[in-house]
């Protein structure tokens, strides 16, 4: 997994049908920007863990979702 910081939300009105409803967050990870699906309700500035690839898509069990980046946790502040 990689860790990153939530920078904002992305909206896509025109999308393929199989994109699940839910938040798509822009996450800054070591200078690169990834757009990840967020099932946890994370806020801007939150530190998160992201899993990628087919492992992210496997989270969606009802149908094959075209999601290759998923927020799996929020990192505890220490």
DSSP codes, 47-74: EEEEEETHHHHTT--SS-----EEEEEE
Q: How far apart are CA 66 and CA 55, in angstroms?
A: 12
φ, ψ (nearest 5 deg) of residue 45: 95, -15
Q: Which parts of 55-74 interact with a copy of itself (CB under 8 A)?
A: 55-59, 64, 66-70, 72-74
Q: Does 43 bind a copy of itself (CB under 8 A)?
A: no
Rule CB under 8 A: choose which of 6, 21, 36, 44 binds a copy of itself: 36
List residues near a copy of itself by CB under 8 A: 1-3, 10-16, 18-19, 24, 26, 30, 32-36, 39-40, 49, 51-59, 64, 66-70, 72-76, 78
């Amino acid at each position: 997994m990689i860790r990153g910081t939530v920078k904002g939300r992305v909206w896509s009105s025109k999308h393929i049908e199989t994109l699940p409803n839910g938040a798509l967050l822009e996450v800054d990870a070591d200078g690169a920007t990834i757009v990840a699906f967020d099932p946890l309700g994370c806020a801007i500035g939150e530190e998160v863990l992201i899993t990628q690839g087919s492992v992210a898509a496997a989270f969606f069990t009802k149908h094959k979702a075209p999601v290759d980046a998923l927020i799996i946790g929020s990192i505890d502040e220490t």
